[in-house]
A and B are shown apart, each in its own frame.
Chain A
Amino acid sequence: MGRAAAFFRAEGVLVGRPAVLAAGWLAANAQHLGQRAARLGAVALCAPFALGLGDAATGQRLAWSALRGMSEDRVAVLGEEYAREYLLPNIRPTGRDLLERARRDGCVIVVISDLIAPIVAPLADELRADHRVCNRLELRNGRATGRLVDPVVTRFGGAVLRRYAEDHDIDLSASRAYGAAEADQVLLSSVDGPCAVHPDRALRRVAVDLDWPVVEG
């Protein structure tokens, strides 16, 4: 018998900023001035994906590919700065309340994010999350290759979630999940207690159809 967990999608539930903004901010802070414009251009290419046109995972891959060649040191230090400057002061009160309630109910807290590990770590620490599931940049010789390590977190759920639950002794039938975007539908469908928080139009429609609770901030 595993433990009950509460899965929180960071984007939309805990913080308002989409991951692509973080990629853009890191790109705009490249070491060389000349690289900044080129990297920002690469991030801009994923705008259609961010608007829901096309596969979200491809959009994530494209956005983070802008960091190709950036040093691990820079990604780590600036990632932490981004989290402290833009995420921690703007944690959504509704998300925090839901998380605290889940903790009081004895759930293992898992934060899921499209962001990369150096950005998610301070957020997870601030929220005292037990685990975090996030994207990881592939590194070679201390520099980002521009690729994300598989699996890309965007649609976390299904078989990947079941394997994660097994590895961490989590009982999905006693767990709950909080999502905000259409991409979170798979996650919410995989647990006993799904909840849509500030949902986008597509997820709201699904939540109403399936009679999932909807929380507005």
Chain B
Amino acid sequence: MQTQDVLADRHLVITGFTGFVAKVLVGMLLEEVPRIGRITLLVRPRGRLRPARRRVEEALETSPVFRTLRAQHGAGLAAWLSARIDAIDADLEQPGCGMSAEARARLASTDVLVHCAGLTDFAPDPLKALSANVAGAANAATLAEELGVPLVHVSTCYVAGNVGTAEVPETLTPGRAPSGAPLQVGAETRALQLACRRAASVEERINIGTARAQALGFPNIYTYTKSLAEHLLAQRTELDCTIVRPSIVECARQRPFPGWNEGLNTAGPLAWLISTPFRRLPTVPEHTFDVVPVDDVACGLAAITAAALTGRAGGVFQLASSDHNPFTFDRAVELTGLGMRRWTRRAGRPIDRGLLAHLDPIPVALDAQGPFEVRRLGRLARHLGRALRADQRADWVPSGVERALGPTLDRVGTAIDDVRGSLDRVEQMLELFQPFIHDNDWTFHTVRARELTAHEEVFRFDLSDLSWRDYWVDVEYPGLRTWCIPILEGERIQGDPPLRPRLQLGNPPAEVRVASK
């Protein structure tokens, strides 16, 4: 049976709609499963002026994800969506998901809960990460138990932790951290909260969280808290739970359109680094860069959700590429340079076309970065900047030179300070990504997901046919330049213009009744 047949007339509750993956999932479900019963989106309101309903309407009318739907339904879009989409004010970090009794009643006919919400920053405030990733998962699980429906929980492959070169099976060993240490979710959460509350600043809290994550063998706070959530769900023996772990989710290869991306993902900052004069990426060339396009993740997630509805899911599914179409870092670095070259021929600045496009990035060993090592350049820039400060110049600049060139030296000093700022940022970024681009070489097994979806016509997860060269040069890099790198450069990504008249979803039914469970 195809996924679209299983999901027809079903009521799905989805969290995390304002994020990257869930939005593509919802867009794909609406396009490919028009007979879907209902999709209820649990969304956190932003004050009284932007309740969940308004936020969902805004996304539906301005997000590029829904361009096809908008074009397809034109003036009838609101009516078509109103029959399929409901939005509820919810705060997953609160008990009962922070929903009103009236809103809770609208979930009575739910068939499955897909929990995509989470905090994906690599180094967030640990208190926020615990709240979003652990408490959020716990509350979603409680809701699923109360509704008596299966829970599909979206996690990450990187809960595997710092394991060096390793194969990562689609399993979870409850109560055990990657370092081998015991992992008691309750005690761990309480201890971290306590330590963080004693800290004087957010930076100190991040340092505490990072140190704890690394002590247990996790690369960062994100993977640590996502892992805690998995272990917590594993303890809920009454819960029908399926864990879906994507690896690094990147630009869409087909849907909603090639290159679509949203927010900042792992490859975005790395591509940004390579689009600056920085040319030496510390990595191990033969290590695998496990990337998976967002639409493939959405396909897999939809199919696994359908499987959860028919009792064919449960356990862990991984959505990754390393075990069946591995993409190595030497290729990633070279193709990023080639993608940049092709991009700059079309849209680059003269300096990009004339210089940077001809200086290819290269992978280098962490301890063999030569004279252009970021830390060394940073130190040099720091010394130069300090020496050029007006109060320092009196010590070494002759007064005649100072009178003649003082303003110029000020400007040079400011420029060097800017360069130092950029180098600091590069250094921080490299440190953050080091476990993913250098220290570990994970091969994530995806046999379950590929076998489950092998017969699917639409919702199939299999990257065997993906040409990394075509994808990286023609889809991923242009996608990053359009949707991600501008954010890193301080620009704001504009959505599509709002519809006129504004999209307004109809009033939700008091109790939605769709197919019998």
Partners in one complex: yes
**Known contacts A73-B469, A77-B338, A77-B473; is-contact A31 B331 (Cβ 8 Å):** no
Q: What's the Cα separation between A71 and B337 when bound, in Å?
A: 13
B360 neighbours in A (Cβ, 8 Å):
31-32
Chain A 60-83 against B: per-residue CB contact (8 Å), 1 yes, 0 no? 000000000001011011100100
CB within 8 Å of B: which A25-39 residues: 29, 31-33
**B83 contacts the other chain (CB 8 A):** no
Closest chain A CB from B173 CB (angstroms): 36
Contact yes or no, A81 B334, CB < 8 A: no
Contact yes or no, B362 A32, CB < 8 A: yes
Contact yes or no, B362 A78, CB < 8 A: no
Chain B 388-408 against A: per-residue CB contact (8 Å), 1 yes, 0 no? 000000000000000000000
A73 neighbours in B (Cβ, 8 Å):
331, 334-335, 338, 469
B342 neighbours in A (Cβ, 8 Å):
77, 81
B438 neighbours in A (Cβ, 8 Å):
none
**Known contacts A78-B338, A81-B342; is-contact A31 B362 (Cβ 8 Å):** yes
A71 neighbours in B (Cβ, 8 Å):
330-331, 334
Contact yes or no, A74 B334, CB < 8 A: yes
CB within 8 Å of A: which B41-73 residues: none
Residue of chain B at shortest CB distance from A71: B334
A33 neighbours in B (Cβ, 8 Å):
359
Chain B 331-343 against A: per-residue CB contact (8 Å), 1 yes, 0 no? 1001101100110
Q: What's the Cα separation between A71 and B360 when bound, in Å?
A: 13
Contact yes or no, B337 A31, CB < 8 A: yes
Closest chain B CB from A3 CB (angstroms): 33
Residue from the list A29, A32, A76 in contact with B469, Cβ < 8 A: A76
CB within 8 Å of A: which B334-366 residues: 334-335, 337-338, 341-342, 345, 358-360, 362
Which of A32, A76, A77 is packed against the most chain B CB atoms within 10 Å? A77
A81 neighbours in B (Cβ, 8 Å):
341-342, 345
Chain B 307-339 against A: per-residue CB contact (8 Å), 1 yes, 0 no? 000000000000000000000001100110110
Closest chain A CB from B385 CB (angstroms): 28
Q: What's the Cα separation between A142 and B358 when bound, in Å?
A: 22
Q: What's the Cα separation between A73 and B330 when bound, in Å?
A: 11
A77 neighbours in B (Cβ, 8 Å):
335, 338, 341-342, 469, 473
A31 neighbours in B (Cβ, 8 Å):
334, 337, 360, 362
Closest chain B CB from A18 CB (angstroms): 23
B362 neighbours in A (Cβ, 8 Å):
31-32
Q: What's the Cα separation between A29 and B341 when bound, in Å?
A: 11
CB within 8 Å of B: which A1-48 residues: 29, 31-33
A29 neighbours in B (Cβ, 8 Å):
358
Q: What's the Cα separation between A162 and B356 when bound, in Å?
A: 48
Closest chain A CB from B514 CB (angstroms): 49
B334 neighbours in A (Cβ, 8 Å):
31, 71, 73-74
Which of A32, A73, A76, A81 is packed against the most chain B CB atoms within 10 Å? A73
Closest chain B CB from A29 CB (angstroms): 7
Closest chain A CB from B337 CB (angstroms): 7
Q: What's the Cα separation between A47 and B330 when bound, in Å?
A: 33
B345 neighbours in A (Cβ, 8 Å):
81
Closest chain A CB from B246 CB (angstroms): 25
Q: What's the Cα separation between A76 and B331 when bound, in Å?
A: 13
Residue of chain A at shortest CB distance from B468: A73
A74 neighbours in B (Cβ, 8 Å):
334, 338
Residues of B within 8 A of A (CB): 330-331, 334-335, 337-338, 341-342, 345, 358-360, 362, 469, 473
Q: What are 26 residue pairs bridging A and B, where the CB atoms are less than 8 Å apart in the complex?
A: A31-B334, A31-B337, A31-B362, A32-B360, A32-B362, A33-B359, A71-B330, A71-B331, A71-B334, A73-B331, A73-B334, A73-B335, A73-B338, A73-B469, A74-B334, A74-B338, A76-B469, A77-B335, A77-B338, A77-B341, A77-B342, A77-B469, A77-B473, A78-B338, A81-B342, A142-B331
Residues of A within 8 A of B (CB): 29, 31-33, 71, 73-74, 76-78, 81, 142
Since A31-B334, A77-B473 are in contact, a sample of 17 more A-B pairs with Cβ atoms closer than 8 Å, ordered by chain A residue number, is: A31-B360, A31-B362, A32-B360, A33-B359, A71-B330, A71-B331, A73-B331, A73-B334, A73-B335, A73-B338, A73-B469, A74-B334, A76-B469, A77-B341, A78-B338, A81-B345, A142-B331
